[in-house]
Structure 1
Amino acid sequence: MEFRQLNYFIAVAEEANLTAASRRLHISQPPITRQIRQLEEELGAQLFHRSSKGVQLTAAGKAFLSEAQRLVQIAKSASEKCRAADRGEIGQLMVGHYGATIHAAVPHAIRRFQKARPDVSVQIRRATKREQYEQLRDGRMGVGFARHYLNDPDLETICVSTERLYAAARIGCLPDTSPGSFKLATLEDVPVIVFPQGGRPSFADHILDMLARANVCPANVDTAEDVFAAIAMTMISDSVCIIPESVAELKWPELECVPLDDPSAVSPVNCIFLKRGRAPVVDAFLEIIVR
């Protein structure tokens, strides 16, 4: 049984006339008649009563019509879903995140994508960079987010946004500076906290490199496990911690956050994905977030 035969049968049944069905299908009558005969032979039942006035469904034809219509509709729906999946309009997307990217960059990117592709199911998973590398390769994850990644021959990284950096310290403990701004030079001989401890290259490396380029030498540098540990350490010490804007905007109690007055005081947010062989839904995601 072929879908072509089902389409011919449905057209003749609904038009109750071979000539009308022929016009509807844009083909001549003989192929329609031949295919319906073959269908009847395969089913072992007569589907139409034929007369000079036209055709009428037999009892078997009436029973078969509803099922034929349902089968054709299922096939049509399956074809549409297949094409939609190939365009990245439906499916599932697993998004990995590491570090403070979850506070603003990741939700913002996902909201934009869901607005454009509402039929794609998006899940978010916290994953170290090593876990992201592994899960991107084996297909469990579509894209990952972090601030810094190692170069990898199988993976590609793009910068999707940047964040301004802020100096954070316990209220009353920030070194003297101009109101509303903080110069990197002010950190000379000041204790500094950086984060995280793992995931090199990392945000901690970025901050230390920025200080080195500015020829600023802190009194000492402590490394916290993650942003939350860094904030806690800052609240119980006289140290200054450099944090991204999205973290500063969380309005931590007992913490004063001032933007760094330096053009280099920004941090990237990067997205990582497979260079080749990635799912269409990943391409759809990338097309939207890099606009």
Structure 2
Amino acid sequence: MAFTLVQLQHFTAVVRYGSFSAAARALGVAQPAISQSVAALEEDLGARLFDRNSRKCTPTAAGLTFAGEAAQILSSVSESREKLRQFQTGKSGRVILGLTPGISNLIGEHLLRHMHETSPGLDVIIVEAFMTRLYELLLEERVDCIVTYGLDRDTGSTRAWALGYEPFCLVGAPRLFARLSCGDTVSIEELSGLPLFLATLSYEEGVGRLLINMARKHGIELDVRHQVQSLSLIRRLLLQKDLATITPIGAIIDELYDGRLQARPMADPAFMYPVQFAIAMHRNFGVIEKAVMNSIITVAQPLLFGSGIWTSTPDTVTCPDARQYFEHATRAPRIRPQTV
């Protein structure tokens, strides 16, 4: 008959405390139970583990050798139980989270810190990609979950939970905004004549499709010069080429803070995009996914909702405040050198 964990616990207690009676008191069990466990263990191993006398038990050479093995077994079992407990509560394991560059810039650092503090055994890997590519990575099972803006296609392949809403803004150099009205928002009509580029791969998806369709609806011509999906090029076009774009403001929050760029939300509610946490349809929404989503919500409350970057309802159009964001953030803005 194979030995049991209880027998190992009783045996190591006798080694530690030096007698059956002391081990029984330490473990809170009757002394006969300790004696029976050790006797059964010796029979199973075919070796005498203690030299017994009236006062104390001294481990034999075999007992000393086995004591080290028993301690390792008990330690391994305890560690395995703790790992399983942490896994069941979402505090251990591995998860690959996909974020858009803007969302990553806003909360990525804070999310990693929060996850490390609340789930130190959970290995969180963040992957950045634009919206279309994030969706593809999710379906290809290259990432486990994503945070992106409204998935408006093939919804049968994903499950999504709304985290909030974010207005897409007209972003450009301050001199471009001199052409616009002094309101807090921008109408679709005010885009007429502005030199634009789209941060999208196609006019047939995302904000590109929305913008083109709304321009047609209102009978206006848009001056779209380029289509770009490169953060470095987006910044260069905005800062150096007198071009504007319609985008979330996360990727250029530092430039908004130092005044090199300005942003105003689009007035039409159609530009209020839902921010969603999504997984593939076949994936279980388990404790790890819940832990990640809860951490995102916790981090977003002061940083994003507190600064107007996200709102809780789609009918509240707010102007994102970069200064409030950095007041809530625990880091200073990353001021980049002026481009000459």
TM-score (norm 1): 0.79
Match of 1:194 in 2: 198
Paired letter, 2:288:
V
2:115 corresponds to 1:113: yes
Deviation at 1:6, TM superposition (A): 0.8
Match of 1:16 in 2: 18
Could you tell me whether the CA contact under 8 Å between 1:187 and 1:216 is conserved in 2? no
Deviation at 1:80, TM superposition (A): 1.0
Higher relative contact order (CA closer than 8 Å, sequence separation 6+): 1
Match of 1:284 in 2: 291
2:285 corresponds to 1:271: no
Match of 1:145 in 2: 147
CA deviation map 1:256-287 (0-9, x unaligned): 42313637354443221245425532221112
Residues 266/14 of structure 1: CA separation in 2 closer, same or farther (3 Å cut): same
The whole-number CA distance in structure 1 between the counterparts of 2:175 and 2:32 is 93
Pairing of 1:16-165 with structure 2 (within 5 A): 16-98=18-100, 100-127=102-129, 128=133, 129-135=135-141, 140-149=142-151, 150-165=153-168
Deviation at 1:76, TM superposition (A): 1.0
Deviation at 1:202, TM superposition (A): 2.0
The whole-number CA distance in structure 2 between the counterparts of 1:234 and 1:59 is 78
Paired letter, 1:225:
V
Structure 1 gap segments, 5+ residues each: none
Paired letter, 1:5:
Q
CA deviation map 1:180-202 (0-9, x unaligned): 74521312354543221159642
Please state whether the residue corresponding to 2:140 is helix, strand or coil. Answer: helix
The whole-number CA distance in structure 1 between the counterparts of 2:211 and 2:109 is 24
Residues 35/210 of structure 1: CA separation in 2 closer, same or farther (3 Å cut): farther
Structure 2 gap segments, 5+ residues each: 299-340
Please state whether the residue corresponding to 2:228 is helix, strand or coil. Answer: coil
Residues 208/141 of structure 1: CA separation in 2 closer, same or farther (3 Å cut): same
Paired letter, 1:280:
V
The whole-number CA distance in structure 2 between the counterparts of 1:84 and 1:178 is 55
Match of 2:247 in 1: 243
Please state whether the residue corresponding to 1:132 is helix, strand or coil. Answer: helix
The whole-number CA distance in structure 2 between the counterparts of 1:267 and 1:117 is 30
Deviating more after overlay: 142-151 vs 257-266 = 257-266
2:263 corresponds to 1:258: yes
Paired letter, 1:3:
L
Deviation at 1:5, TM superposition (A): 1.4
Residues 210/39 of structure 1: CA separation in 2 closer, same or farther (3 Å cut): farther
Please state whether the residue corresponding to 2:147 is helix, strand or coil. Answer: strand
Match of 2:307 in 1: none
Deviating more after overlay: 195-204 vs 140-149 = 195-204
CA deviation map 1:45-85 (0-9, x unaligned): 21112233343322322332233223212221121122112
Match of 1:176 in 2: 179
Paired letter, 1:21:
A
Residues 199/220 of structure 1: CA separation in 2 closer, same or farther (3 Å cut): closer
Could you tell me whether the CA contact under 8 Å between 1:101 and 1:147 is conserved in 2? no
Deviating more after overlay: 235-244 vs 264-273 = 235-244
The whole-number CA distance in structure 2 between the counterparts of 1:24 and 1:176 is 82
Residues 26/237 of structure 1: CA separation in 2 closer, same or farther (3 Å cut): closer
Deviating more after overlay: 188-197 vs 32-41 = 188-197
Could you tell me whether the CA contact under 8 Å between 2:171 and 2:246 is conserved in 1? yes
Could you tell me whether the CA contact under 8 Å between 2:86 and 2:121 is conserved in 1? no
Please state whether the residue corresponding to 1:177 is helix, strand or coil. Answer: coil
Could you tell me whether the CA contact under 8 Å between 1:166 and 1:257 is conserved in 2? no
Could you tell me whether the CA contact under 8 Å between 1:145 and 1:270 is conserved in 2? yes
